[in-house]
Chain A
Amino acid sequence: MERITFAGTLDALDGIRRVVKAQAEEAGLARKPTYNLLLAVDEIATNIITHGYEENNLSGPVDLLTDCSNECFTVVLEDEAPAFDPLHHQLPTDELFARPLEERPIGGMGIHLTIKGVDKFSYEYLGGRNRNIFCMNVPELPPAP
Chain B
Amino acid sequence: MTATTSTVEDITVVTAEGSIDSKTAGEFERTALTAIQGQREVIIDLTQVDFLSSAGLRVLLVVYRQLKAKNGQVVLVGTSEDIKDVMSDTGFLSFFSTVDTLAQGLALLQAK
Is A129 located at the chain interface by the 8 A CB criterion?
no
Minimal Cβ-Cβ distance residue in B for A40: B53
Measured CB to CB, the residues of A under 8 A from B are 10-11, 13-14, 17, 31-32, 35-36, 38-39, 42-43, 46, 49-50, 97-102, 104, 106-107, 109-110, 112-113, 116
In the docked arrangement, what's the CA distance between A27 and B89, Å?
26
- The CA of A97 and the CA of B98, in the complex, are separated in Å by 19
> Which residue numbers of B lie inside 8 Å of A, CB to CB?
19, 21-23, 51, 53-55, 57-58, 61-62, 64-65, 68, 82, 85-86, 89-92, 95
Point out the residue from B55, B61, B85 that lies within 8 Å of A101, measured CB to CB.
B61
B53: A residues at CB distance < 8 A: 39, 42-43, 46, 110
> Is the contact region of chain B dominated by helix, strand, or loop, or is it mixed?
helix
Given contacts A32-B82, A102-B65, 12 further A-B contacts (CB under 8 A): A10-B23, A11-B23, A32-B85, A43-B54, A97-B90, A97-B91, A99-B91, A101-B61, A101-B95, A109-B57, A110-B54, A116-B89
Which chain A residues lie closer than 8 Å to B91 at the CB level? 97-99, 101
In the complex, the chain B residue whose C-beta lies closest to that of A110 is: B54
Q: List 6 A-B contacts (CB under 8 A).
A: A17-B21, A39-B86, A42-B21, A106-B61, A106-B62, A109-B90
Residue of A nearest to B18 (CB): A14
**CB <8 Å contact, B82 and A35:** yes
